[in-house]
């Protein structure tokens, strides 16, 4: 499902983990050189590649769940998510166990997105293992409407754009807390957030906000051109960062 959603304007991957020359467990059946002429057998090997970050990320998720056993997979994922190109970095397990704001998304939210992408009940049954009719409202739901921490918009090349994202965050930090927004604007992307301040009076209280994205000093000129930025909510000592991606693609 995530592969399909990533094709349709939800970026994947949007987090990174160590994957270059990592000491890892290794199958004793296969030689270190994966060659019939190599007769060695080892329990560990130095490995690199895209599959190597997976156990790191899985380990971080398991670590986070020991501190938050009631968190759902999507919520745990959001706790250690990092960004695409702007202000990107590696997952941080020690910071992930102390989140402050989380973006909730339910099973029903994903069903609406899939229905909006054209999935029918038969395809949904293959994914969910049960019958699930599409809500009528889902026909108008776009991938960017998912309450996801990343904000991604597809726009037309060489044209002005104005895209709005509606998001809801839940306070899992302190009962009385205030978060101010910082939207990083560059020559290609301008971001305006409304409201600019979120006031929370209790734990698990939810607040909504809207992020409006417009072009900066110039539009995205060609197909596949891209610009990135980020949005940060901060209470002065903790920061919750979201990725902003705008890319140009002809319909």
What the block records as the tokens of 202 is: 């209790």
State which H helix or E strand residue 169 sits in.
Answer: strand 162-171
Alpha-carbon gap, residue 175 to 165, rounded angstroms? 26
Architecture label for domain 2-16+51-105+147-248: Sandwich (2.60)
Q: Identify the CA nearest to 212 among candidates 165, 180, 160, 155.
A: 165
**pLDDT for the residue 10:** 63
Q: For the chain, what are the domain ranges?
A: 2-16+51-105+147-248, 106-145
Is the pTM here over 0.85, yes or no? no
**Residue range 46-64, pLDDT digits in tens:** 888 877 887 877 788 788 7
Distances (CA, A) of 143 to 21, 126, 162, 178: 36, 20, 16, 29
How far is Cα 79 from Cα 66, in angstroms, rounded to an integer?
Answer: 13
pLDDT number for residue 125: 85
Q: In the sheet where 197-200 sits, what is the strand order?
A: 151-155, 239-248, 226-234, 177-184, 197-200
Residue ranges in the chain assigned as alpha helix (H): 2-7, 53-67, 73-79, 93-96, 107-116, 121-128
User: Can you give the pLDDT of all 251 residues of the chain as single tens digits?
Assistant: 444 444 455 655 556 777 788 888 888 888 888 788 888 888 888 888 877 887 877 788 788 788 777 765 555 555 454 433 344 456 777 777 777 888 888 888 888 888 888 888 888 888 887 787 887 765 678 888 889 888 888 888 888 889 999 999 999 888 999 999 987 777 778 889 999 999 999 999 999 999 999 887 778 878 888 888 888 899 988 888 888 888 888 86
Per-residue pLDDT, 138: 58
DSSP code of residue 90:
B
pLDDT score, position 14:
58
Please give the backbone phi and psi of residue 220, each rounded to the nearest 5 degrees, phi first: -75, 120
Please give the Cα distance from 229 to 48 (Å, whole number). Answer: 29
* Tally of CB atoms within 10 A around 231: 24
């Amino acid at each position: 499902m995530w592969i399909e959603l990533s094709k349709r304007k939800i970026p994947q991957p949007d987090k990174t983990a160590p994957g270059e020359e990592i000491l890892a467990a290794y199958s004793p059946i296969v030689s270190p050189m994966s060659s019939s002429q190599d007769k060695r057998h080892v329990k560990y090997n130095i490995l690199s590649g895209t599959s190597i970050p997976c156990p790191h990320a899985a380990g971080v998720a398991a670590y986070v769940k020991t501190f938050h056993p009631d968190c759902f997979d999507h919520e745990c994922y959001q706790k250690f998510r990092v960004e695409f190109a702007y202000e990107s970095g590696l997952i941080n397990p020690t910071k992930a166990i102390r989140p402050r704001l989380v973006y909730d998304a339910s099973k029903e939210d994903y069903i609406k997105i899939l229905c909006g992408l054209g999935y029918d009940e038969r395809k949904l049954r293959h994914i969910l293992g049960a019958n699930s009719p599409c809500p009528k409202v889902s026909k108008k739901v776009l991938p960017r409407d998912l309450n996801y921490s990343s904000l991604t918009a597809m726009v037309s090349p060489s044209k002005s754009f104005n895209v709005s994202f509606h998001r809801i965050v839940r306070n899992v930090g302190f009962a009385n807390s205030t978060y101010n927004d910082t939207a990083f604007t560059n020559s290609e992307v301008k971001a305006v957030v409304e409201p600019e301040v979120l006031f929370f009076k209790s734990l698990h209280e939810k607040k909504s906000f809207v992020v409006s994205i417009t072009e900066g000093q110039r539009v995205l000129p060609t197909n596949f051109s891209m610009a990135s930025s980020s949005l940060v909510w901060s209470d002065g000592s903790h920061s919750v960062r979201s990725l902003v991606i705008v890319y140009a693609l002809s319909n």
